[in-house]
Structure 1
């Protein structure tokens, strides 16, 4: 095997194989190689994911690599989440290690998703430095790190709805939070299984050499300070790891010209008048809830752009030729959020979407679904005060009815209303904080460069 020149760093990136984890890892790799041409990345995906993303644009010094496909395609698509998780956690280690022997150059470092603890096991076995990449908020990392405190206080698992509304403030670095808003804290079998996988990953964090947070220090300073005081490995809060378009506010062309008509549609709408709606790519609200949302939007006369993926065709039938709205399967989300006609974001509160909206300065209507999303919603509404909850109660199966949605959407999209005015002002202030952080000399820019310097000296 031919060795790389000593001035080059060969990074192997191992994301968790779902879109919400692959995207931030890829964005991180693109940022790394764009800032230092001596970094070369082998980006590891399953064969199924390789077929999905191989045609996506990327720099020349990032190459896709794939090992044996051990996860059936129906599991990749999320139809059987417990089986998918079981396969990822138990069947991918051996193909990943075999792939390392097939690379053109030995790895200088492995960057892996925290949940994939077996990646650091392999790295340790081969004496390869490992960087742990956490694609959720640093605050959620602190929650999992201190999970034992819930058990000590008799709050794990949470019984719904009896004590979901109870607020606690005993997790270091975390402000007062409803028990229902903590990740995977309920008593369902699915959440218990997921919790065990996360805690298994946390058992191995001390074996990594670096910890990377896809966040901004100023957003989560208390939690990050706690983690820096408790963990022995270097911590880098490297910024939002979103597409570089976040800094190109005046570029008029959408990244996919085949979909330029939705940008043209946005161009024709008044400033701040359009509600953007996207409920994520992996988990989803119920069909009954989607029907209530659709009926409410049609009755509200509020302009909207709804990205509904597999539900798009059905929703077009429900809404008909609605003159105030546009329903699509896909869009360039960051470009949409950065468009001046967008006045709000109805969001499932996934961390990637949250970061993009914060950088774009767009306020939120939150309807979280699973894992970190309820806590992300809590941060938006209670800590940062840049959003409103669509659903206030903690009952998981409660439908938010059409009439309530109509009232909420009207209030939220009223640019002159007191509630909306305050939220919009805070959204713009938070946007400025985010942009300053990733600008030259900002906290994220400094940490990002420090990480590059460290890996180039391995």
Structure 2
């Protein structure tokens, strides 16, 4: 059995699809075939965002899809509703899909790599006699939190619905940083009903962890030594970033929900070294009109060139006074190409884990503006533990003012220590040449896959 056909099941959100697509590319480099299962809705988005599709036919990564259980007009940003629909529809659909493949005499599925929060798919695999593996798309610390839900309930840190009982900090292990109870990621979705549903769904997904033979994570020993020593079953294979000089537009954009605007690279080529603010808040963050205005006017105030990603689903109007003359605004950027560009000075980020990994791999300091879930903890990790970024303070109305944005960017860009630490950390994290921990782990895993 030389070339295993691995079935990949990501949660239908951009960060999850991205992370698992990056891992798929690694497996392909080691001779594996990949069947990548998105929901129908996500699959349509991914396909329509890809510039060139003619080479997909021969690709070792086969993009396929099954329904998520929601109607065409349902709101998929309602995560609670999405989780309910996934659980009631997808297990049966996935089972039928795998049976069809395995009965048709083609390349049989030999292993399922399931996003931890699609853990029900391991049950499907087990029923069909297929080996299972978990993949965690965020930090090892956030996995440790999830893995310890029973202990958190027992110790009175959270109640049976997953909500923190009191304010303050707690520590899972002496080897790990203290965590603010406000940063417990499943209780950070800003709607108690949704949070309850998501928590219930997570607990359900975790019931199957015993069906997994490995648990893989996009991190490194250098980045999270404490968390990894506390959760020895977690296998770090990071940093999972695609090569920014990938010549194939298809390979580079596979898995994106929006078409990448490559015109920003030509624009960056014309900017001075280390001068541009890169401003991007991932696929979920939404600002209200007031906050959007302050951000736009704050960028003007800095009087620096900026590259700002404003998604197509953003319904905000630019304020009348906004000049934007020093900047470029795009719907979606080829982020890795942008971040690795010598013109970039810093990353104004929502602190999603993929963005953090990409920023760290390129020695870029962060101005942290988290939105929800694990981003709240990620911000404190960047600022307080790794010390490669700064946070923003909001006023009494919860607004981050244009003056605060300008002040923090000026501070960040003039702080030589932060820049030096960012470059040091880059050397440390990117050290994944042959023989390093992550590289050895991938080789071990592939050997197991092929056995």
Q: TM-score normalized by structure 2?
A: 0.87
1:241 counterpart residue number: 240
For 1:34-433, list aligned pairs within 5 A: 34-36=29-31, 39-54=32-47, 56=50, 60-68=59-67, 70-75=69-74, 77-78=76-77, 80-103=78-101, 104-156=106-158, 164=167, 166-171=168-173, 173-185=175-187, 188-228=192-232, 231=233, 235-245=234-244, 248=245, 259-310=261-312, 314=316, 318=320, 320-391=322-393, 398-413=398-413, 417=414, 420-433=415-428
Asked whether the 8 Å contact 1:10–1:109 carries over to 2, the reply is yes
Does the alignment pair 1:456 with 2:450?
A: yes
Asked whether the 8 Å contact 1:295–1:402 carries over to 2, the reply is yes
**How many angstroms does 1:258 deviate by?**
8.6
What CA deviation, in whole Å up to 9, does each residue of 1:81-118 have, x standing for no partner?
32122112322111111100121332110011111121
Q: Which runs of 5+ in 2 are unaligned?
A: 254-258
Cα 1:259–1:123 shift into 2, 3 Å: closer
What CA deviation, in whole Å up to 9, does each residue of 1:194-224 have, x standing for no partner?
2222222222212111111111121111111
SS at match of 2:112: strand
What's the Cα RMSD here? 2.8
| Pick aligned residue for 1:444 from 429, 438, 441 | 438
Partner Cα distance (1:325, 1:319) in 2: 15
Cα 1:283–1:314 shift into 2, 3 Å: closer
Most deviating of 276-285 and 184-193: 184-193
SS at match of 2:186: coil
Asked whether the 8 Å contact 1:305–1:326 carries over to 2, the reply is yes
SS at match of 1:24: helix
2:256 counterpart residue number: none
What CA deviation, in whole Å up to 9, does each residue of 1:326-384 have, x standing for no partner?
11111100111111111111111111111111111101111111111111111111111
Aligned residues: 430
**How many angstroms does 1:127 deviate by?**
1.5
**How many angstroms does 1:138 deviate by?**
0.9
Partner Cα distance (2:124, 2:294) in 1: 48
Q: Which runs of 5+ in 1 are unaligned?
A: 1-5
Partner Cα distance (1:176, 1:412) in 2: 25
**How many angstroms does 1:154 deviate by?**
3.3
Partner Cα distance (1:46, 1:170) in 2: 35
Partner Cα distance (2:277, 2:246) in 1: 19
Partner Cα distance (1:73, 1:318) in 2: 36
Asked whether the 8 Å contact 1:173–1:224 carries over to 2, the reply is no
Asked whether the 8 Å contact 1:172–1:223 carries over to 2, the reply is no
Q: TM-score normalized by structure 1?
A: 0.86
| Pick aligned residue for 2:19 from 15, 18, 24 | 24
